[in-house]
């Protein structure tokens, strides 16, 4: 219906006095008819001015540019520009703090519960969605921390993060989408500085630890989701290398999906394990463990045992600790695992020379005791013979190692990264999906920026 | 004019997310900016927070948000404002000090006189309006009454109040000199 420009409802709408179907009708006219839009905006400006002079002076409005930005944001599916041009405050050095807001956001989960009901115990993601907009960025981007993977040390986290963990587990897709959308909305300065992300402890990045006989490592079951969208915005949009604290290898690897594991099952899990040579080193191997919930509520850990006669040292790629401890830490225990996404975990192993063909290197067990028959690997295949999943994940990990300035065994630099991408594109040309192709493009550009 | 809050009627009319956002802007723009300002202590930042809040509303399922629009907006606005505040912790502390220093004194006599003159000038233009228009304009913009409160105060129907404010505001804008607009 066409609205007359002299319709008093226009002024009532501008003053926030119109409700019900009248309000919807005028809102529709504002979107469809430039004359009505102008009349509403004019009435709004005039009323704010009058209130400012006659009233208490507190009637403030968005600027015309901001109002237009709000309207135009609805006209496109992906919002790419939120920050107004004159907002230098975004670019000031930010202080990453953990405090009242985080607690409030988490409390909303506790008090408000989940919109749409519970998730049940199914192995796949529940259709119930969380309202992620109610969670602040501090919580959304909290990293998953694994305490060196040693059994017994893992799984502790602040009690306040429990609802957050449950939400991540039950609505991983919604969680991923919300984080991605928010990172897209972030001002450039914030992306470039990374100051809003907690600093990671460099010493714990890819830290080597000696392998002892009988030592059992707990496999992390979940990852955060912040790193890759951050990387994309830095590299593709800003043509810059991302800040180091945005580089979380486990999140980069698990941004991508992998073939559902089939090798063993138990305790509500399915898992695969695979080992291959490291393409940038002659004396280390990459061990990939892929775990995914498989019906029921998985509550027990996946345990990895390394043969100390064949493996001298091990390091988990990613899962760096925070530099300063805070309440917003989501540890990677079994009750945190996503119901819809698996977790692809990569270890680098320093293999004892001359032990080829002399028994198993690693054994993986799902749950305690005899919950699953252990899955063993004993032969280290060449990287080129590994599965396309492991080859791809290893290149993503390599990119993370290089970008974070982490120590590497062997030769790993921008040129090597490009050569690995070339190899994958040649070898897996037909099997690469769109997401992986785009991922390789990002890695190639990252290598280009590193070279520059 | 349907000024009554009629949720049922609202529900019966299919509303798009863009319409919901437009309606949210009309109802909550100013209160949200005021609210955000109490957190971030800066008008420009508050505006950015509110702009962000409205843009996020597009991502919501209209049917889920519509009935709880106000709490949704204020919660998101608060979270965003606190996000910013946390990032700007040190700087805000400095700003607070500046703000406190600025707010600590009473406005200068010159400023008081200028404000008073401005108020009197606007009122002199309002006085040129027909009496019923001038009355409702003052109740609305000086006292901050809602249409319903003006209706209760004057005995006019809320439809009449809306009409008088609409025409009065239009006429006043034509009368006011540029420096007062």
What pLDDT was estimated at residue A160? 41
pLDDT (0 to 100) of residue A451:
86
Q: What is the mean pLDDT of residues A66-72?
A: 82
- If DSSP codes are grouped into helix, strand and coil, which group holds residue A217? strand
- Using a CB-CB cut-off of 8 Å, the residues of chain B touching A101 are 79, 82-83, 85-86
CB contact under 8 A, A66 and B48: yes
Per-residue confidence band for A84, with pLDDT thresholds at 50, 70 and 90: very low
What is the pTM for the complete model shown? 0.56
Q: Does B174 contact A at CB distance below 8 Å?
A: no
The architecture that CATH gives domain B109-180 is: Orthogonal Bundle (1.10)
B109 CA: distance to closest CA in chain A (Å): 17
Considering only CB atoms, B141 lies closest to which of A10, A51, A89, namely A51
Please say whether the dihedral angle defined by the alpha carbons of residues A424, A427, A433 and A434, taken in this order, is positive or negative. Answer: positive
Closest-CA residue of B relative to A82 is B52
Percentage of chain A lying above the pLDDT 90 cut = 27
Question: What kind and span of H or E run contains A277?
Answer: strand A269-277
Test A22 with B1 for CB contact under 8 angstroms.
Answer: yes
C-alpha triplet A81, A87, A92: angle, nearest 5°? 110
A139 vs chain B: nearest CA distance in angstroms?
10
pLDDT at A276: 95
Residues of B in contact with A48 (CB under 8 A): 30
Q: b/e per residue, A92-103, with b = 16+ CB within 10 A?
A: eebbbbbeebbb
Mean pLDDT over the full length of chain A: 76
Using an 8 Å CB-CB cutoff, list chain B residues near A100.
Answer: 82
- Tell me which of A18-32, B73-87, B96-110 is least confident: B96-110
Cβ contacts of B21 on chain A, cutoff 8 Å: 70-71, 74
In this complex, is the C-beta atom of A450 within 8 Å of any C-beta atom belonging to chain B?
no
- We find that the CATH architecture of domain B2-101 is Orthogonal Bundle (1.10)
Alpha carbon distance B75, B28 (integer Å): 13
Which chain B residues contact residue A67 at CB under 8 A?
Answer: 25
Instruction: Name the pLDDT band for A277 (thresholds 50, 70, 90).
Output: very high
* Model pLDDT for residues B130-155, shown as the tens digit of each residue: 999 999 999 998 888 899 999 998 99
Task: From residue A30, give the alpha-carbon distance in Å to each of A36, A106, B171.
Answer: 5, 37, 22
Q: Report which of B114, B139, B126 is spatially closest to residue B169, judged by C-alpha positions.
A: B126
pLDDT tens digits, A91-141:
333 323 333 333 334 444 433 443 333 333 333 444 445 676 767 777 777
A-facing residues of B in 89-118 (CB < 8 A) are 89-91, 118
Q: Among residues A60, A96, A65, A97, which one has the least CA distance to residue A81?
A: A65
pLDDT digits (tens, 9 = 90+) for A341-381: 889 999 999 988 877 777 899 999 987 765 567 888 888 99
User: Which pLDDT value is given to residue A98?
Assistant: 33
pLDDT single digits (tens) B42-82: 888 899 999 999 998 988 888 888 888 888 999 899 888 88
A16, A53, A97: residue with CB nearest B122: A53
Higher-confidence residue: A13 or A64?
Answer: A13
Residue A366 pLDDT? 87
Task: Look at the alpha carbons of A375, A379, A383, A387 in this order and tell me if their dihedral is positive or negative.
Answer: negative
ipTM exceeding the 0.95 mark: no
Residue-level pLDDT at A48: 83
Contacts of A61 (CB under 8 A, 6+ apart): A44, A45, A48, A67, B29, B30, B33
Looking at residue B80, its pLDDT comes to: 87
Q: Which of A142-146, A232-236, B110-114, B115-119 has the lowest mean pLDDT?
A: A142-146
In angstroms, the Cα distances linking B129 to A39, A55, A116, B110, B115 are 20, 19, 53, 30, 22
> Which chain B residue has its CA at the smallest distance from A98's CA?
B86
Q: Where are the domains of chain B?
A: 2-101, 109-180
Chain B residues whose beta carbon lies within 8 Å of the beta carbon of residue A43: 166, 169
CB-CB under 8 Å, B55 with A79: yes
Say if residues A263 and A362 touch (Cβ distance below 8 Å): no
């Amino acid at each position: 219906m066409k609205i007359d420009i002299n319709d008093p409802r226009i002024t009532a709408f501008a003053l926030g006095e119109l409700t019900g179907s009248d309000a919807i009708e005028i809102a529709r006219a504002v979107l469809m008819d430039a004359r009505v839009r102008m009349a509403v905006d004019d009435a709004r400006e005039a009323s704010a001015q009058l209130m400012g002079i006659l009233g208490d002076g507190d009637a403030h409005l968005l600027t015309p540019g901001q109002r237009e930005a709000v309207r135009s944001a609805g006209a496109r599916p992906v919002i790419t520009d939120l920050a107004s041009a004159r907002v230098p405050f975004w670019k000031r050095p930010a202080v990453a703090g953990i405090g009242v807001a985080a607690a409030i956001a988490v409390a909303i989960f506790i008090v408000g519960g989940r919109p749409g009901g519970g998730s049940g115990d199914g192995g796949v993601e529940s259709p119930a969605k969380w309202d992620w907009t109610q969670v602040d960025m501090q919580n959304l981007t909290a990293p998953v921390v694994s305490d060196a993977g040693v059994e017994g040390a893992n799984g502790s986290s602040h009690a306040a993060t429990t609802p957050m963990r449950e939400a991540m587990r039950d609505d991983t897709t919604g969680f991923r989408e919300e984080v991605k959308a928010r990172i897209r909305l972030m001002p450039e300065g914030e992306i470039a500085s990374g100051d809003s992300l907690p600093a990671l402890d460099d010493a714990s990045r890819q830290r080597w630890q000696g392998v002892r006989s009988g030592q059992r490592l707990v496999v992390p079951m979940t990852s955060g989701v912040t790193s890759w969208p951050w990387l994309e915005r830095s590299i593709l949009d800003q043509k810059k290398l991302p800040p180091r604290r945005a580089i979380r290898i486990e999140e980069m690897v698990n941004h991508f999906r992998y073939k559902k594991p089939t090798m063993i099952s138990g305790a509500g899990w399915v898992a695969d394990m695979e080992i291959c040579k490291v393409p940038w080193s002659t004396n280390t191997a990459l061990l990939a463990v892929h775990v995914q919930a498989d019906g029921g509520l998985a509550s027990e850990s996946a345990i990895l045992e390394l043969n100390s006669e064949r493996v001298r040292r091990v390091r988990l790629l990613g899962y760096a600790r925070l530099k300063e401890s805070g309440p917003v830490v989501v540890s990677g225990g079994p009750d945190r695992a996503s119901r819809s996404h698996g977790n692809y975990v990569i270890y680098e192993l320093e293999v004892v020379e001359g032990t080829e063909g002399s028994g198993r290197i690693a054994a993986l067990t799902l749950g305690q005791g005899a919950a699953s028959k252990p899955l063993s690997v004993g032969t280290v295949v060449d990287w080129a013979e590994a599965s396309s999943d492991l080859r791809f994940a290893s290149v993503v990990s390599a990119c993370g190692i290089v970008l974070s300035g982490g120590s590497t065994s062997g030769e790993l630099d921008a040129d090597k990264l490009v050569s690995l991408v070339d190899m994958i594109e040649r070898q897996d040309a037909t099997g690469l999906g769109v997401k992986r192709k785009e991922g390789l493009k990002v890695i190639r550009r990252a290598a280009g920026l590193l070279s520059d | 004019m349907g000024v009554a809050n009629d949720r049922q009627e609202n529900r019966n009319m299919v509303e798009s997310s863009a319409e919901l956002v437009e309606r949210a802007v009309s109802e909550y723009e100013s209160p949200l900016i005021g609210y955000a300002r109490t957190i971030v202590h800066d008008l420009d930042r508050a505006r950015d927070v509110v702009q962000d809040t409205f843009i996020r509303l597009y991502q919501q399922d209209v049917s889920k948000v519509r009935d709880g629009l106000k709490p949704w907006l204020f919660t998101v606005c608060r979270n965003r404002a606190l996000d910013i505040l946390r990032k700007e912790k040190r700087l805000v502390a400095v700003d607070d000090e500046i703000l406190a220093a600025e707010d600590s004194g009473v406005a200068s006599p010159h400023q008081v006189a200028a404000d008073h003159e401005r108020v009197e000038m606007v009122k002199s233009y309002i006085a040129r309006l027909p009496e019923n228009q001038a009355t409702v304009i003052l109740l609305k913009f000086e006292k901050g009454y809602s249409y319903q409160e003006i209706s209760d105060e004057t005995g006019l129907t809320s439809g009449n109040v809306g009409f008088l404010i609409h025409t009065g505001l239009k006429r006043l804008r034509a009368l006011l000199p540029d420096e007062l607009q």
